[in-house]
Amino acid sequence: MAEVSVLASERSAMLATEPNLGVFRRCAIPRTFEELERVIRASDSVDAARPLMNLKLASQRVPSFFSALLPFLWDEGQPAPETLRPRPLLAAPGVVTLSQRECLCVLANAFFCSFTNRKSDNCVSGPDLPSINFDELYGGYGSQSVARGKLHMLFEYFERMAQRRAKGDRLDRRISFERYQAQHSTVRDWLECEAPLARPSLQAAGLSIDEAKDALRVDFANRILGGAAVAYGCVQEEIMFCLSPELIVGRLYCPAMRDDEAIVIRGAEQFSKPEGYGFDLLFGGGYEDRSPLGRDNMLTTSILAVDASDFRSRPASDQYTPALVLRELGKLWAAFPNATVPQAVATGNWGCGVFEGDVELKFLIQWMALSRAEKTMHYFPWSEKIIVQYAPAVVEALCATGTTVGECAKFLLEDLKPGKVFEQALQRGGRISYNKFS
């Protein structure tokens, strides 16, 4: 009986990642929007009341949408067995590697909403699975202009894939999705770390993490990989996933991250540029990704998805407790003992936007974790004045005395008090303090 239960569980995990190709067999290639709408609704994965107006308006801006782009997606969405082999969910530490063409097949099916076992419900398909179909992008909650902008980014990707296929490109370049779980991340492990805090590179205000193509770029993630990328989301993670749509494929295979997990995605290509941010986000045109090809037939791009603690519905003072500081350290540390990633790590105000984290605390936590991993933190403060004005003094003071990760851990895990984290760090050394409101 136990063996039958295990087999049923494995089959269920496999079904969660398989498209239902019956829609392609029951319908002809759509030639009008009305026919396309019937195909999408025929999948039974789309709420009958959901409007598809964003898709209709976005498609009108692509002259060859019905004559060329849609037939291409129709063909690519029906894979031969060797094109997209069944894979189970990546629910435990491990790796799923796909070719660029397999990613295209996944995204073509997401376009037609043919993952019938993954019905969308506010960006998820059940409690711990991300949604993968694009129906919430086609109509529903959120800014219509943002949704159309993200659809144009997806269309840019699809058109470029069509051009490459027409030129004989086999699309065999690889993309990997790697799940890691923190090891050796107890309070004692951190307190005993003798590695010095490695001097970070503080970037100028206004520069974007996305400009650091040679670095491991930190995705300020939701525990649901990609957050609301295929719905209403319009901040760092969601924008990143639409500029590089192959990242979205990770939503098909990766259940929600646990508190001690991180996900690394290697080899994804960027196809679009953004214009604006948040509710002002628009499609800013095509982008030519010049990232070199590595020896493993992957582009040398890498993303680290880590979800910070969310303090929107809990006291902000909780973030200064040892348990939550340790949680953030472990989250950032999870991938580094084993992942093949660049030495430079591009990050910024992780968890300090909508999640309401303390930017001073998160700066020190990231600095500690990356120093232990022997990585160099390239910090992009964007418009955060606290970091721009005061982080250089903190860096100079702690580096001048050779402060170790363990010494910083003692401060954060044993002596930290809520608020004014930089001032506390500096006063511990009897050096300087500051008034952030001066």
Q: Please give the Cα distance from 307 to 295 (Å, whole number).
A: 30
pLDDT at 84: 83
Span 75-88, pLDDT tens digits: 999 976 667 888 99
Number of compact structural domains in the chain: 1
Query: Domain range holding 245?
Result: 11-428
pLDDT of 9 strictly over 70: no
Q: Is residue 274 part of a domain?
A: yes
Share the mean pLDDT of the chain: 93
Distances (CA, A) of 46 to 40, 117, 176, 251, 358: 7, 11, 29, 18, 39
% pLDDT > 70, the chain:
94
Span 168-218, pLDDT tens digits: 999 999 999 999 999 999 999 999 999 999 999 999 999 999 989 999 999
Q: Please give the Cα distance from 260 to 437 (Å, whole number).
A: 36
**Reported confidence tier of residue 398, pLDDT bands at 50, 70, 90:** very high
**Reported confidence tier of residue 372, pLDDT bands at 50, 70, 90:** very high
Q: Is residue 4 part of a domain?
A: no
Distances (CA, A) of 367 to 207, 332, 334, 346, 355: 19, 10, 15, 11, 19
**Reported confidence tier of residue 435, pLDDT bands at 50, 70, 90:** very low
pLDDT of 311 strictly over 60: yes
- The answer to whether 238 is a known catalytic residue is yes
Q: Please give the Cα distance from 415 to 411 (Å, whole number).
A: 5
pLDDT of 243 strictly over 70: yes
Q: Is residue 98 part of a domain?
A: yes
| Residue tagged active-site, from 102, 136, 189, 238 | 238
- The answer to whether 237 is a known catalytic residue is yes
Q: Which residues contact 195 (CB under 8 A, 6 or more apart)?
A: 371, 372, 374, 404, 405
Q: Is residue 159 part of a domain?
A: yes
Ramachandran category for residue 163: left, alpha or beta (phi over 0 → left; psi -120 to 50 → alpha): alpha
| Per-position b or e across 385-403, b if 16+ CB within 10 A of its CB | ebbbebbeebbebbeeeeb
Q: Is residue 6 part of a domain?
A: no
CATH assignment of the domain containing 188:
3.40.220.10
Q: Is residue 3 part of a domain?
A: no
| Residue tagged active-site, from 237, 269, 307, 328 | 237
Q: Is residue 388 part of a domain?
A: yes
Span 125-179, pLDDT tens digits: 988 999 999 999 999 888 999 999 999 999 999 999 999 999 999 999 999 999 9
Span 255-281, pLDDT tens digits: 999 999 999 999 999 999 999 999 999
Indicate the length of the chain as a whole number. 438
